[in-house]
């Protein structure tokens, strides 16, 4: 028997990555610990040895996914400020990572269910993200946006567009040009010249 194929920490990460995949494919409710275990060559109880419950496993998966996204968002703008173009680049990056997008879409929508273990995570996440995004918009476009929008209004719209496009893109990748449409929305926000 070949036990101890790595450190405890590396084994945990292995499991977390597999769990992210399975959650993306089946949602949280539809995913079973056993199916995650199978993917890393463990028994169900092997997984439960590293994570005490399915809830906790989900919590750590979400934390991991957030870290990754932060990497993509922060690294390119190293030292410099994050701009709307950086955000557009993130959307472009996401268009290459279907699994990550799907996990986020499925889990966030599932989380609106009462007593869902990810509910607090997403609620807090959207709250802080909106505040942060409002500042990014203010820094780049100032206080006055087209149609008298405030940055505080534009921020939730921004995430709405990102999330909504992801859903349509997941259902019909060939019909929806997610990065292109997101850029189109951005140019709307920036206030390009009106026709007529």
Binding footprint of DNA on the chain (CB under 7 A):
1, 3-5, 7-8, 11, 31-35, 37, 41-46, 48-49, 52-55
Binding partner at 46 among DNA, a copy of itself, none, C-beta below 5 to 8 Å by kind: DNA
In this structure, the number of other CB atoms found within 10 A of the CB of residue 112 comes to 11
145 belongs to the binding site for a copy of itself (CB under 8 A): yes
Write the DSSP string, the chain: -----S-HHHHHHHHHHHHHHHHHHHHHHH--HHHHHHHTT--HHHHHHHSSSHHHHHHHHHHHHHHHHHHHHHSTTSSSPP-HHHHHHHHHHHTT-HHHHHHHHHHHHHTTSTT-TTHHHHHHHHHHHHHHHHHHHHHHH-S--GGG--HHHHHHHHHHHHHHHHHHHHH-TTT--HHHHHHHHHHHHHTPPP--
Give the residue from 11, 26, 164, 163 showing the smallest Cα distance to 99. Answer: 26
The correct pick among 95, 122, 133, 137 for binding a copy of itself (CB under 8 A) is 122
By beta-carbon proximity to DNA, the closer residue of 26 and 144 is: 26
Binding partner at 162 among a copy of itself, DNA, none, C-beta below 5 to 8 Å by kind: a copy of itself
Residue 43 interacts, among DNA, a copy of itself, none and using kind-specific CB cut-offs from 5 to 8 Å, with DNA
Q: Using CB under 8 A, count the residues that bind a copy of itself.
A: 58
- Can you tell me which of 6, 41, 99, 127 binds a copy of itself, judged by CB under 8 A? 127
Closest separation between CB of residue 105 and DNA, Å?
20
Check residue 1 for interaction with a copy of itself (CB under 8 A): no
Q: Which does 113 bind (CB under 5 to 8 A by kind): DNA, a copy of itself, none?
A: a copy of itself
Least distance between a copy of itself and beta carbon 145 (Å): 7
Evaluated on CA atoms 98, 58, 124, 78, the torsion sign reads: negative
Whether the Cβ atoms of residue 57 and residue 19 lie closer than 8 Å to each other: yes
Stretch 47-86: interaction string toward a copy of itself, x if CB under 8 A: ----------------------------------------
CB of 46 to a copy of itself, least distance (A): 25
Q: How far is the CB of 119 from a copy of itself (least distance, A)?
A: 7
């Amino acid at each position: 028997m070949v036990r101890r194929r790595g450190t405890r920490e590396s084994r945990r990460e292995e499991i977390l990555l597999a769990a992210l995949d399975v959650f993306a494919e089946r949602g949280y409710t539809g995913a079973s610990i056993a199916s995650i275990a199978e993917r890393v060559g463990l028994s169900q109880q092997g997984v439960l040895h590293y994570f005490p419950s399915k809830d906790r496993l989900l919590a750590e998966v979400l934390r991991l996914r957030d870290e990754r996204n932060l990497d993509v968002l922060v690294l390119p703008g190293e030292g410099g400020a994050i701009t709307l173009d950086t955000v557009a680049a993130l959307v472009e990056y996401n268009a290459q990572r279907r699994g990550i997008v799907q996990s986020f879409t499925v889990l966030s929508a599932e989380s609106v269910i009462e007593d869902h273990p990810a509910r607090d995570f997403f609620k807090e996440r959207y709250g802080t993200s909106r505040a942060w995004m409002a500042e990014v918009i203010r820094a780049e476009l100032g206080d006055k946006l087209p149609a008298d929008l405030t940055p505080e209004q534009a921020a939730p719209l921004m995430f709405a567009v990102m999330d909504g496009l992801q859903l349509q893109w997941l259902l019909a990748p060939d019909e929806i040009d997610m990065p292109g449409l997101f850029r189109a929305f951005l140019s709307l926000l920036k206030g390009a010249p009106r026709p007529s």
